[in-house]
Every structure is written in structure tokens, then in C-alpha cells.
């Protein structure tokens, strides 16, 4: 097949066009053929004019991946995933099928906004310490492994984002996860129910795990288009931009349960700038930045959007401690709004994950715009090291090494934010003996001009090839392997299909 033809595994975000990135649109535009699940292709139908389009139904993921690789004989191909391709998406399978047939340097994973990030931003949620993502579907993962991961995350008191919580045939699994999260009635965490996030009919409301266990009609509201976020330590709940407390079926009319995608009329915005390359800004973020009269944030985030912005910028750097700079930005945004101007405060990555957006959101009642998270960007640059259940934890805590070990023991892939690559001895000592051959990847400044990447095995964790701060470390899951300089984590399709 022609060596210039490329395979793009594209995350189109959770639904609405504003949640897509410029890079995703470019990749689809560059492709002669587009392959995907029909409902996802329908979301980008206007981008497919004049292209060969191949659609398959639910459960035909292997067929889609094979078809995408076959079509490389005829030109470049975009293989579509909703949300982010590394979050229960097509990244792992696409790379697995392409491996051995295509030089993997010709495969690009294009990260997207994940459903849990979009839901968290909509509801005003910020994860400041950790979050675990777990799928309740046992089609590809044995239930005993899923239950063990839910138990580990609950024991560590982590917030949990629950994907695929309930279907028409699969109902008891959600009940079991809720029982685990409540420690069989000892706790009663709050639960965000997010339906059709960023799609027509979007509805978000809060309830409690105990209430959901008790009331069948409440559980029946949950389906495969619903994502749940279970409250845990380090989860800050501010005033949601599209969510009210205890909103239930019948408690309000449809107009109160469906929320507009826009919110662009707000005077103050919190904007996730993604990993750094402006092409990974969402279209919403790009539009907000373009029309903002004042941009506030760290200098590196302001620099990243300089080609997009037209307004005044101010980093407030050199003005006291971090909290002082945040306070100064809040005051500047308040003053701009008072004068009838639009102000945006920029945060790197996604505002819902390990950012300080919660410090400004409450006093300003700001509209929050999602961004591609550091974990998404790093995973895409490394290949497909996640795709199964994974956990995000902050590297700033003294408890990080043993938490990472416990999560790895439970079968999670683990992403550690805020790493200094020259100071990973304690982490290496805690986890490297679990599986010395398991791959890990370290990414600094993903998608930026000075990006640095190192891929190694567990035994080498304390000896990466470069030193620096602001690194994202990904400890791959138990089914991961290295091939052609990429990390590929198998999703479990090999247990049901031959490919």
C-alpha cells in the first residue's frame, strides 16, 4: 500500500460539534475513506461529503478496524471513535489490527474530549486528587475483574466515572457497583447522572447511590447513553452550568432537563486549552478565545493560543504566590465583566482534571469549556496504553507510590500527573517489581514543539532518558505490549473474535 497513506484514529468528542477539535476535523478532511459506527458517522455527516464511507453496527468493531486498514491501499483513512479513542474507543484495536501490516509511524491517534470530562465540566465538577474510569460492560472483560477494580477504587475513596452502566439485558452489574461504592450501606456517595452528554436530549442531575439502589424507576433512567460519576475524596462540586441538585424524572419539565450546548453569552469563561498545540483546542474553546476581550492565565497557556486570540492578555506572573495570581485573575475577570466585556481564564488540559479551575469558578459563576486532558494527549502520543479501565492520580501526593501499586494490582492502567522524571525512584521502588516487563510511557509537553517522549519497561522506571518537570506518566494495563515504538493495550476482543 502507498507509504504516504495514513490511518487516523479520530476522537470526535462526545457529540456536539463544538466539542470536536480542529485536529479531528483536519484528519477527517485529509482522509479519502471514513470508517465508523453509523450513529457516530451521523454526528459528522457534513464532513463526509465526497468520501467513501463504511459503516458497521454495534459489536462489529473488529470488522471496522480491518476495513480501515484494508482501505489504506486506496488512500488515507479516518477510523472514527466517539469521545476519546483511548477511552473505551478504537485506538487499541486499530493499532492492534494495523500492527504487522502497516508501519505504525503512519498511524496517528487523534485525542478527543472524553464523556466523563465533558460531563464533569457541565456539572461544575473538578477532580483535584484522582478519578477512576470503569466500564460495567462484561462483554470483553470478565465481571470478577470489573468488580475488583470497583472495590479497589472504593477502598481508596476515589471518584469513579462509570461507563456503560446499564443496558436492557445487563441490569444487575450497576446494582453491584453501587453496593460496593456504599460499602454495603456504610456510605452514601452522591452520584451525577449524565445522559446524552453534548447530544440532543442532554440531561444531568444529582442523586445518591443509596437512593438509586432503592428505587427501580431511578435505575431505569440509566442506559448505555448514560455516564455516572460517583463522588469521592478530592472531588469539588461547584455550581454546575447545566445541572441542578436532585433533579429527577417528573421533578421538572423537559425544558429544565435538557440543556443548551452553548452558554457563549456568559461574560466570564473558564477554558481548557488542551495539551498545547492550538489544533487540539475544541471549536467551542477556539470561538470563546477569539471573541474574548481579555485572556487570563499562566504565560505558557497564553502563548499556546496567541495565534487564536485577539484580545488583551495578562498572566499576573511574578505577582506573589500561586493563590495570589489566581485571586488577581478573578478580580480582573470581575472588572472586565462589570465593564460589559468578555473575559476568559485559561487552564491547560481539561479544567475538570487536576486544575485549579474550582478556585475561580465559584466566585465568578463562569461558563466552563472542556479541553483535551493531559492523559488523553499523552496516551495518543504513546499509542494506546489505556483503552481498558484506568485511573488518574496526582503525582504531588506522598501517597502516590502505594496508591499506584494498589491500582495496578487491581488491574487498572494508571496515569500519574505532575511528574518530575528525575525523581521517580520512590514510585519505581513501589511498582516496578509487580511486572518488570510491563510497558510505561513518559511524556513531557505533549504536542508542543519541545515535546519529549520515553517508552520503557517497568524495570527501567527509575531511569528515563530525559529529566524534566510537567511530565505525564502512564503505567500501562496488564494486557499491554510494546511494538514498533508504541504501547498497545488489548481491549479483550481477542477473547471473542479472531483478527
pLDDT of residue 250: 38
> How far is residue 388's CA from residue 160's CA, in Å, rounded to a whole number?
14
Same domain, 99 and 149: no
Residue at a domain's end among 257, 286, 317 = 257
In CATH, what number is assigned to the domain containing residue 321? 3.40.1010.10
Question: Considering the chain, what percentage of its residues have pLDDT values greater than 90?
Answer: 79
| Bridge partner residues of 456 (DSSP) | 440
pTM of the model: 0.93
Identify whether the C-beta of residue 69 lies closer than 8 Å to the C-beta of residue 98. Answer: yes
Q: Which residues pair with 414 in a beta bridge?
A: 391, 475
Q: What is the pLDDT of residues 451-466, one digit of tens each?
A: 999 999 999 999 888 8
Q: 4-15, pLDDT tens digit by residue?
A: 899 999 999 999
pLDDT average, residue stretch 373-402: 95
- The boundaries of the domain holding residue 162 are 116-257
Q: Report d(CA 31, CA 27) in Å as an integer.
A: 6
How many CB atoms within 10 Å of residue 400? 23
181 in the same domain as 233: yes
Greatest Cα pair distance, the chain, in angstroms, is: 63
Give the contacts of 71 (CB within 8 A, at least 6 positions apart): 32, 33, 35, 52, 54, 77
Burial of residue 224 (CB within 10 Å: 0-12, 13-18, 19+) is: middle
Please report whether residue 490 resides in a domain. no
Mean pLDDT of 294-301: 95
Mean pLDDT of the chain: 90
> Which pLDDT does position 464 carry in this prediction?
87
Question: What pLDDT is attached to residue 1?
Answer: 59
* Lowest mean per-residue pLDDT among 73-87, 133-147, 250-264, 423-437: 250-264
pLDDT tens by residue, 101-116:
999 999 999 999 999 9
Note the pLDDT of residue 496: 52
**Mean pLDDT value across residues 394-411:** 94
pLDDT of residue 59: 76
Give 182's DSSP letter.
T
Per-residue confidence (pLDDT) for residue 149, from 0 to 100 = 97
* 70 lies in some domain: yes
Residue 210: exposure state from Cβ atoms within 10 A (0-12, 13-18, ≥19)? middle
Task: Indicate whether 124 and 211 sit together in one domain.
Answer: yes
- DSSP string spanning 334-371? HHHHHTT--EEEEESB-TTBS-SHHHHHHHHT-EEE--
- Tens-place pLDDT, residues 165-182: 998 888 899 999 999 999
- Is 382 a member of any domain? no
| Mean local confidence (pLDDT), 352-376 | 92
Tell the residue number behind the cell numbers 519505581, with chain if given.
428
Residue ending a domain, among 113, 136, 161, is 113
Residues 134 and 73 in one domain: no
pLDDT range class, residue 429, cuts 50, 70, 90:
very high
Would you say residue 129 lies in a domain? yes
Q: Which residue has the higher pLDDT, 238 or 259?
A: 238
Q: Per the structure block, which three cell numbers stand in for 81?
A: 471513535
Residue 121 and residue 251 share a domain: yes
203 pLDDT exceeds 90?
yes
| 380 found inside a domain | no
CATH number of the domain within which 167 lies: 3.30.950.10
149 shares its domain with 205 = yes
Nearest CA to 124 out of 5, 260, 240, 258 is that of: 240
Overall domain count for the chain: 4
One domain for residues 109 and 185: no
Q: Where are the alpha helices (DSSP H) in 164-319?
A: 172-181, 209-214, 216-219, 254-257, 283-291, 299-304
Cα gap 280→195, rounded to integer Å? 25
Strand partners, 347: 272
The CA distance from 25 to 377, in Å, is 16
Does the pLDDT value for residue 347 go beyond 90?
yes
Q: How far apart are CA 262 and CA 323, in angstroms?
A: 30
Domain check: are 394 and 342 in the same one? no
358, three cell numbers:
474550582
Cα 351 from Cα 127, distance rounded (Å) = 9
In this prediction, residue 265 has a pLDDT band, given cuts at 50, 70 and 90, of low
> Is pLDDT above 90 for 490?
no
Predicted confidence band at 240 (pLDDT cuts at 50, 70, 90)?
Answer: very low
> Can you name the residues that pair with 489 across neighbouring β-strands?
480
How does pLDDT run across 54-75, given as a tens digit for each residue? 998 777 899 999 999 999 999 9
Same domain flag for 61 and 81: yes
Q: What is the pLDDT of residue 394?
A: 92
Residue 276 in any domain: the answer is: yes
pLDDT tops 80 at residue 248: no
- Residue 40, domain member (yes or no): yes
Residue 491 and residue 488: Cα distance in Å, rounded? 9
Last residue of a domain, one of 55, 86, 113: 113
pLDDT at residue 183, as a whole number: 87
Q: What is the CA radius of gyration of the chain?
A: 22
Query: In terms of pLDDT, which residue wins out, 363 or 119?
Result: 119
Per-residue model confidence (pLDDT) at position 422: 87
In a domain, 45, yes or no: yes
Are 71 and 194 members of one domain?
A: no
Same domain, 240 and 137: yes
Identify whether residues 409 and 306 lie together within a single domain.
no
pLDDT at 362: 81
pLDDT at 314: 94
Amino acid at each position: 500500500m502507498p507509504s504516504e497513506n495514513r490511518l487516523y484514529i479520530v476522537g470526535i468528542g462526545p457529540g456536539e460539534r463544538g466539542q470536536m477539535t480542529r485536529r479531528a476535523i483536519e484528519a477527517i478532511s485529509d482522509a479519502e475513506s471514513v470508517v465508523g459506527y453509523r450513529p457516530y458517522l451521523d454526528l459528522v455527516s457534513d464532513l463526509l461529503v465526497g468520501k467513501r464511507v463504511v459503516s458497521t453496527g454495534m459489536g462489529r468493531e473488529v470488522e471496522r478496524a480491518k476495513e480501515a486498514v484494508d482501505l489504506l491501499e486506496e488512500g488515507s483513512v479516518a477510523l472514527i471513535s466517539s469521545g476519546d479513542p483511548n477511552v473505551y474507543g478504537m485506538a487499541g484495536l486499530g493499532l492492534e489490527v494495523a500492527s504487522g501490516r502497516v508501519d505504525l509511524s503512519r498511524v496517528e491517534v487523534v485525542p478527543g474530549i472524553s464523556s466523563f470530562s465533558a460531563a464533569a465540566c457541565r456539572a461544575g465538577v473538578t477532580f483535584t486528587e484522582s478519578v477512576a474510569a470503569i466500564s460495567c460492560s462484561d462483554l470483553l472483560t470478565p465481571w470478577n475483574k470489573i468488580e475488583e477494580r470497583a472495590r479497589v477504587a472504593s477502598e481508596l475513596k476515589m471518584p469513579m466515572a462509570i461507563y456503560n452502566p446499564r443496558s436492557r439485558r445487563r441490569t444487575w452489574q450497576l446494582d453491584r457497583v453501587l453496593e460496593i461504592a456504599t460499602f454495603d450501606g456504610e456510605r452514601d456517595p452522591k452520584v451525577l447522572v449524565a445522559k446524552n452528554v453534548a447530544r440532543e436530549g442532554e440531561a444531568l442531575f444529582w442523586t445518591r447511590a443509596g437512593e438509586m439502589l432503592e428505587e427501580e424507576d431511578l435505575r431505569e433512567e440509566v442506559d448505555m447513553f448514560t455516564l455516572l460519576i460517583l463522588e469521592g475524596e478530592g472531588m469539588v462540586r461547584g455550581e454546575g452550568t447545566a445541572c441542578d441538585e436532585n433533579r429527577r424524572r417528573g421533578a421538572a419539565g423537559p425544558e429544565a432537563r435538557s440543556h443548551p450546548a452553548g452558554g457563549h453569552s456568559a461574560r466570564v469563561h473558564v477554558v481548557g486549552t488542551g495539551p498545547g498545540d492550538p489544533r487540539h483546542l475544541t471549536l467551542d474553546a477556539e470561538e470563546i478565545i477569539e471573541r474574548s476581550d481579555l485572556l487570563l492565565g499562566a504565560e505558557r497557556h497564553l502563548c499556546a493560543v496567541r495565534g487564536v486570540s485577539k484580545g488583551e492578555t495578562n498572566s499576573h506572573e511574578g505577582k506573589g504566590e500561586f493563590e495570589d495570581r489566581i485571586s488577581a485573575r478573578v478580580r480582573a475577570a470581575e472588572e472586565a465583566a462589570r465593564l460589559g466585556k468578555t473575559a476568559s481564564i485559561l487552564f491547560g488540559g481539561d479544567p475538570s482534571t487536576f486544575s485549579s479551575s474550582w478556585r475561580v469558578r465559584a466566585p465568578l459563576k463562569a461558563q466552563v469549556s472542556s479541553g483535551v486532558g493531559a492523559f488523553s494527549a499523552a496516551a495518543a502520543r504513546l499509542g494506546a496504553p489505556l483503552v481498558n479501565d484506568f485511573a488518574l492520580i496526582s503525582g504531588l501526593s506522598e501517597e502516590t507510590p502505594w496508591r499506584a501499586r494498589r491500582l495496578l494490582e487491581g488491574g487498572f492502567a494508571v496515569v500519574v500527573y505532575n511528574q518530575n522524571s528525575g525523581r521517580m525512584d520512590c514510585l519505581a521502588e513501589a511498582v516496578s517489581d509487580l511486572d518488570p516487563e510491563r510497558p510505561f510511557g513518559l511524556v513531557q509537553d505533549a504536542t508542543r514543539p519541545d515535546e519529549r517522549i520515553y517508552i520503557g519497561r517497568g524495570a527501567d522506571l527509575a531511569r528515563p532518558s530525559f529529566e524534566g518537570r510537567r511530565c505525564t506518566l502512564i503505567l500501562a494495563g496488564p494486557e499491554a505490549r510494546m511494538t514498533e515504538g508504541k504501547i498497545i493495550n488489548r481491549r479483550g476482543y481477542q477473547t471473542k473474535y479472531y483478527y
